[in-house]
């Protein structure tokens, strides 16, 4: 049992006893709950005819005041009243000191939580710590923390202190079914439950009674006006939470909600960092799939440029060595951007390489690639492709175009587009493609690109277009530039045209200049 001296202290007890003695006119002694004097004085005696008045704190006897009669006779009623007033004063001082110390402990717990919240990264560890701290600080029986599910329809238990597994397994807490939680989450204010055993708002009163739960206080976990869950503190007997206890729980709940959101953001950041690392690895793999340099072909100067919109792109170009003395040249544009497009690109590239080396008829090659694509993809996943085969000895160029941006052949100041072919890849497995051929002459320049170049927009949403590509290429050809210089000139003019416009698609450009 806590003694009066533990809360009031020696100095205060001496002052009180001295003041009471002066007011009474005879010695007054402050005694503990056991009836013994808290302060030993030489004149203290306990005559049987003395007056003793109990000191009551929280409906329990914490001590007493013992006073000698002033005249040796029975003390009048006013004297008794005066002594009771003195005892009541001690009781109030004792109770006030109790509350003050309790508040100090609660504030210390709150400060400790604040310090922990600052660097909290482990969400589960954070929630467990909050639940235990609330129980200790509020001298409660138990505490439970529930967070909203992903669809925000259910409050899922995440951390508890002093609650049994049987109680936790009592059943789901659906927001739509819980009057108390709905009120807490919608208003952002705490709700008090005087007795969970018979309150009609409580979902599981029988289980609460079995658990030994009586009163409860439920507060929202709110962050920037958005509810994240609830925290509920329980007592083992009827208890009215005062304003300080309510404010304390609200403060802890508000800080916990912010820490919960921060912990989630930290976890998301770690996940995003992991994804970025994986993307970087995938991007490196994709770059390795792209030819490190154009092949060296006698009589031809070849250049290639590839600029992905993201780390992973859906464009690709490839050079395939075909026997005897033939070179396959492919450029492809897959619908979409990023990871899905890059995966589809890798699949198409593998299919093309597998069929091109075994089948001479390029229309049949595209037919096989198309069937593979249709079998493994959705209707929204398709690609365009230009595929040509150059006979290195004769310079005969045979090609087919599967819905791709038509390549441009520049010959002696004249231009023509290579359009022979058919529809897109991946739409219809029954499509067929036609092919055409011509012989490349000295001085010819063949440009093939993806729509990232032709459809590059300026701030007026005007596309760069075919005519500007031709003009830029011809200006470079007239200066006797190499294939690489022609490609750089075209890209430079495109960038001058688009200016600071940041919206662009994957871009690929191949230039073949016949010497």
**The pLDDT value given to residue 323:** 83
What tens digit of pLDDT does each residue of 445-490 get? 999 999 889 998 888 889 999 999 999 999 999 999 999 999 999 9
> Hey, how many other C-beta atoms are within 10 angstroms of the C-beta on 186?
11
Same domain, yes or no: 313 and 253: no
199 lies in some domain: yes
The DSSP output letter for 491 is H
pLDDT over threshold 60, residue 2? no
pLDDT over threshold 60, residue 48? no
Same domain, yes or no: 97 and 145: no
> Region 172-185: what's the mean pLDDT?
94
Residue 405 φ then ψ, to 5° = -55, 120
Same domain, yes or no: 388 and 243: no
**The pLDDT value given to residue 47:** 46
| pLDDT class of 121 with cuts at 50, 70, 90 | low
CA–CA distances in Å: residue 142 to residues 105, 125, 210, 233: 18, 17, 14, 6
Same domain, yes or no: 145 and 246: yes
| pLDDT class of 432 with cuts at 50, 70, 90 | very high
Please tell me the distance from the alpha carbon of residue 512 to that of residue 491, in angstroms, as a whole number: 16
Same domain, yes or no: 74 and 188: no
Helices (H) and strands (E) in the chain, counts: 13, 20
277 lies in some domain: no
Looking at 221, 251, 266, the residue that finishes a domain is 266
Assigned token pair, 192: 């008090």
Domain of 189: which CATH number? 3.30.450.40
* Domain span at 23: 4-103
Q: Which range has the top average pLDDT, 284-293, 308-317, 439-448?
A: 439-448
Same domain, yes or no: 487 and 354: yes
**The pLDDT value given to residue 164:** 94
Same domain, yes or no: 363 and 447: yes
126 lies in some domain: yes
Assigned token pair, 388: 């040509």
> Hey, how many other C-beta atoms are within 10 angstroms of the C-beta on 215?
22
Higher pLDDT among residues 242 and 154, named by residue: 154
Same domain, yes or no: 79 and 181: no
Yes or no: say if 388 and 512 are a contact pair by the CB < 8 Å rule: no
283 lies in some domain: no
Q: What is the pTM of this model?
A: 0.56
**The pLDDT value given to residue 314:** 72
147 lies in some domain: yes
Same domain, yes or no: 128 and 89: no
DSSP assignment of 369-381 equals HHHHHHHHS-TT-
* Strands in 45-100 per DSSP E: 51-57, 60-67
Same domain, yes or no: 340 and 398: yes
Yes or no: say if 30 and 38 are a contact pair by the CB < 8 Å rule: yes
111 lies in some domain: no
Yes or no: say if 131 and 147 are a contact pair by the CB < 8 Å rule: no
346 lies in some domain: yes
**The pLDDT value given to residue 42:** 43
Same domain, yes or no: 382 and 470: yes
109 lies in some domain: no
Please tell me the distance from the alpha carbon of residue 470 to that of residue 305, in angstroms, as a whole number: 17
Looking at 103, 131, 160, the residue that finishes a domain is 103
Yes or no: say if 334 and 402 are a contact pair by the CB < 8 Å rule: no
Same domain, yes or no: 48 and 179: no
Domain count, the chain: 3
Domain of 460: which CATH number? 3.60.40.10
């Amino acid at each position: 049992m806590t003694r009066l001296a533990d809360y009031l202290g020696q100095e205060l007890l001496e002052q009180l006893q001295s003041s009471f003695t002066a007011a009474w006119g005879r010695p007054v002694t402050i005694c503990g709950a056991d009836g013994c004097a808290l302060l030993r004085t030489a004149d203290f005696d306990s005559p049987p005819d003395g007056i003793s008045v109990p000191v009551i704190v929280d409906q329990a006897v914490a001590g007493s005041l013992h006073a000698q009669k002033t005249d040796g006779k029975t003390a009048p009623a006013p004297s008794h009243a005066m002594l009771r007033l003195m005892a009541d004063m001690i009781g109030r001082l004792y109770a006030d000191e109790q509350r003050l110390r309790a508040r100090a402990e609660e504030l210390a717990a709150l400060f400790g939580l604040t310090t922990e919240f600052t660097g909290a990264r482990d969400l589960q560890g954070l929630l467990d710590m909050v639940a235990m701290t609330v129980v200790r600080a509020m001298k409660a029986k138990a505490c439970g923390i529930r967070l909203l599910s992903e669809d925000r329809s259910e409050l899922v238990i995440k951390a508890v202190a002093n609650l049994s597994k049987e109680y936790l397994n009592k059943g789901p807490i659906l927001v739509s079914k819980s009057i108390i939680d709905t009120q807490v989450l919608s208003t952002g204010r705490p709700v008090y439950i005087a007795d969970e055993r018979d309150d009609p708002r409580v979902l599981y009163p029988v289980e609460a009674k079995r658990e030994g739960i009586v009163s409860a206080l439920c507060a929202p976990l709110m962050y920037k006006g958005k509810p994240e869950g609830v925290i509920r503190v329980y007592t083992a007997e009827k208890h009215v939470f005062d304003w300080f206890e309510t404010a304390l729980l609200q403060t802890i709940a508000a800080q916990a909600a912010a820490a919960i959101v921060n912990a989630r953001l930290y976890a998301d950041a770690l996940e995003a960092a992991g994804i970025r690392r994986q993307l970087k690895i995938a991007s490196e793999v994709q770059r390795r799939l792209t030819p490190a340099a154009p092949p060296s072909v006698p009589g031809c100067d070849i250049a290639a440029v590839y600029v992905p919109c993201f780390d992973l792109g859906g464009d690709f170009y490839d050079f395939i060595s075909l026997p005897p003395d033939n070179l396959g040249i492919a450029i492809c544009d897959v619908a979409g951007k990023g990871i899905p497009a890059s995966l589809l690109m890798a699949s198409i590239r593998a299919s093309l390489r597998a069929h091109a080396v075994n089948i001479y008829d390029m229309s049949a090659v595209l037919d096989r690639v198309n069937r593979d694509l249709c079998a493994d993809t959705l209707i929204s996943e398709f690609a365009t492709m230009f595929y040509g085969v150059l006979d290195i000895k004769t310079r005969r160029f045979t090609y087919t175009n599967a819905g791709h941006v038509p390549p441009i052949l520049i010959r002696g100041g004249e231009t023509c587009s290579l359009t022979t072919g058919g529809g897109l890849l991946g739409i219809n497995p029954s499509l067929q493609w036609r092919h055409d051929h011509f012989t490349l002459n000295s001085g010819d320049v063949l440009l093939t690109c993806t729509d990232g170049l032709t459809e590059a927009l300026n701030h007026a949403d005007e596309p760069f277009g075919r005519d500007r590509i031709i003009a830029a290429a011809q200006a470079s050809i007239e200066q006797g530039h190499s294939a690489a210089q022609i490609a750089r000139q075209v890209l430079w003019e495109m960038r001058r045209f688009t200016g600071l416009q940041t919206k662009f698609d994957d871009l690929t450009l191949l230039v073949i200049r016949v010497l």
